[in-house]
Structure 1
């Protein structure tokens, strides 16, 4: 199953448009504000459907939820390639949000259910980090394939169309998942594989599937996330970090586009290139290298956390690293050094891949197996809600800075520096906040 989990991550990240999403939308004559608004629409729609789809997955079947997710992705990618009008692009983003809502939290819950059924829970950080590393390798390969598509076709719409193909293969992969990836309270499917492992049947048999049961599962997951003080604080910290990252990460693309103007990429390769071709090559190379580094970071996240007395101290160290990275971005903005700005963005992306497996592992310490997908959907909902607010406001601030005659052209990215430094300083040095009172796994085990 480790192979199938890794294959899922690899195929999921064959989103050939992702390294060029902001450039593709700018090519459709959208401003940073309208792009931010599109992202906000996607996040709000995901937010509305997030927790109910998590409860759906825990009740009716996680594999069915993942298949529905990938069908929605296929439709969204085709529409994003076809349309240029804002209203139609917003509709495509709504379809994309359906895919995100069914997927987020669900697959992580599937991994942890399989680990529990196979008595491998003590390896969760290492296994989740390993499978996540393959998703980053998928991003690296996808960036290179995307560059090839753009260099051949000279059109951004093809990177959207071709992204639908790996999603179809992903559906085939889910047909190989055994029944033990489901919630213990999910009745066995008559259509999908049962597999080599399974949960013990609940006392009194499986409860009949009903709307009331879905609502009950939904309520239990929400209540657990809110009532448990330590889990609530941990979710707040994670949501803030991930929302900050999601709202800022795509600005790396126009930054690399600006850097490509000054870099003789074609001369280095011995060929003549247009500005667009230089941008495509530079973006692809940077994203491929970034993805390989992120893959290594994910795979070693378990070893990274073991260097510290507990996981809370490990996350504090990541806040410090991100603080330094945004300081580098700030220096680049002040001096107009686009490569310094890009370096800071790349560093934050790498550290996010140390962060994610560690935080998911910590969250799993507090969420029971029956409501795991729902709790992770609550986490993802909070992240999407905050991103929906951050993205358009950040885009509006960047647009406003771009219209001001202040400093050099890189100053337009100043709002990103303010946001990044502010969030990192708050969580790094607010030492008495609840997010820093989360105890280590060893302490939890001692309590038990």
Structure 2
């Protein structure tokens, strides 16, 4: 990416992504819930509560963001995250965890589309709209770098504390810094400020329903949405189940036997997630170059999607044969593909959809991704309880590959 595009605001966008992804709890979240005595199915329900709450809240929070400005919306987002982390730190049962997930969803709902809109607004102001794949890919790369460093810090915290709980307290610090960073963004990124009223809220809910109806009637819209949303929903549902796989691998290794299980697994998990996020950072940054090797954006999206599902199936099979190392390598491939294809997917939708309905289509795509993830994650947890993670990964990956093939072919 040319140096002339890397101004002060570009580095602020990068800093936002870096700090936002210092979620020290992420590499250990499922293990934290297991430590508290929850089943995989209960964990799946918690994830669904968060995803569905985010989905529902995105509509009113979008209206509120338009009425108070995007910067204030982002400040409210990070305030919600900080409250959620505090509750996770002190809570011990399923109901309180559910409440914390809902508060976390407020943060996600206010943040998710808002910051992306600020980036696109900035590119529009500067006349750099043709740079959206490269710009988004580079800022996303910084986010992945934050995740890489986060995993090492998180592993250190777990190693020295001997438990997963303290990582939530540590996660508050970068989110306070990100909250302060939002206050330094220029006012023009707030977008057009609109007056808040109930009628607008009702209209937005009806618009979402109408957008869904329109998207499912028009084949081109449906194909575009499924090409991006299906794999992202699959990825969001299954990605954290890598944690118990890594723990099993760590405990099977004949090293650090003198340490307790939590400390032994923290070393392997921290290093693995560090390497994963370094790799995803690289793949995200190279998505623009990868897409240029094809005559259109449809081909790389189809190829990468099917390859990701195949990785999931093979990873599950290898897990069943206790070949944990090879299972982990293929599992990591699912991460890499998501970060390679995500910037391409955003560009594909924007290139093939009328600009007048682009925001609506992106909203539907985001909603569908969240709904799909909310359905898949408890299903994954239920099958993991009944069978194990390997079998559940094989079933979910095979099912989605078959469904997606039929829908896109039709």
Q: Please, what TM-score do these two structures have when normalized by structure 1? A: 0.83
Distance 1:141 1:156, change over 3 A: same
Residue 107 (structure 1) aligned with residue 115 (structure 2) = yes
Aligned to 2:404: 427
Q: CA deviation at 1:361?
A: 2.1
Match of 2:232 among 242, 259, 267: 242
Match of 2:392 among 400, 415, 418: 415
Aligned to 2:10: 2
Aligned to 1:349: 335
Distance 1:15 1:150, change over 3 A: same
Please state which structure has a larger fraction of its residues in helix.
2
Q: CA deviation at 1:145?
A: 0.5
| Cα distance in structure 1, aligned partners of 2:204 and 2:378 | 33
CA RMSD of aligned residues (A): 2.2
| Cα distance in structure 1, aligned partners of 2:315 and 2:358 | 40
Match of 1:266 among 237, 256, 259: 256
Q: CA deviation at 1:242?
A: 1.5
Aligned to 1:325: 311
Match of 2:300 among 305, 314, 321: 314
Aligned residues: 398
Give CA deviations for 1:213-239 in whole Å, capped at 9, x if unaligned: 455566556645653533343223322
Is the deviation greater in 244-253 or in 424-433?
424-433
Which residues of structure 1 form unaligned runs of 5+?
188-206, 403-411, 434-448
Q: Displaced runs of 4+ in structure 1, greater than 6 A? A: none
| Cα distance in structure 1, aligned partners of 2:369 and 2:408 | 23
Give CA deviations for 1:96-146 in whole Å, capped at 9, x if unaligned: 111111111211111111111110000000000000000000000000000
Aligned to 1:77: 85
Distance 1:85 1:311, change over 3 A: same
Q: Please, what TM-score do these two structures have when normalized by structure 2? A: 0.90
1:49-448 superposed matches below 5 A: 49-183=57-191, 186-187=192-193, 208-213=195-200, 215-216=202-203, 223=210, 226-227=213-214, 229=218, 230-266=220-256, 272-365=258-351, 366=353, 368=355, 372=359, 375-402=361-388, 412-427=389-404, 432-433=409-410
Higher gyration radius (CA): 1
Q: CA deviation at 1:64?
A: 1.7
Give CA deviations for 1:71-101 in whole Å, capped at 9, x if unaligned: 1000001111111111111111111111111
| Equivalent residues of 2:227, 2:345 under 8 A apart | no
Distance 1:40 1:415, change over 3 A: same
| Equivalent residues of 1:49, 1:101 under 8 A apart | yes
| Cα distance in structure 2, aligned partners of 1:160 and 1:78 | 7
SS at match of 1:163: helix
| Cα distance in structure 1, aligned partners of 2:318 and 2:341 | 25
Is the deviation greater in 280-289 or in 213-222?
213-222
Which residues of structure 2 form unaligned runs of 5+?
1-8
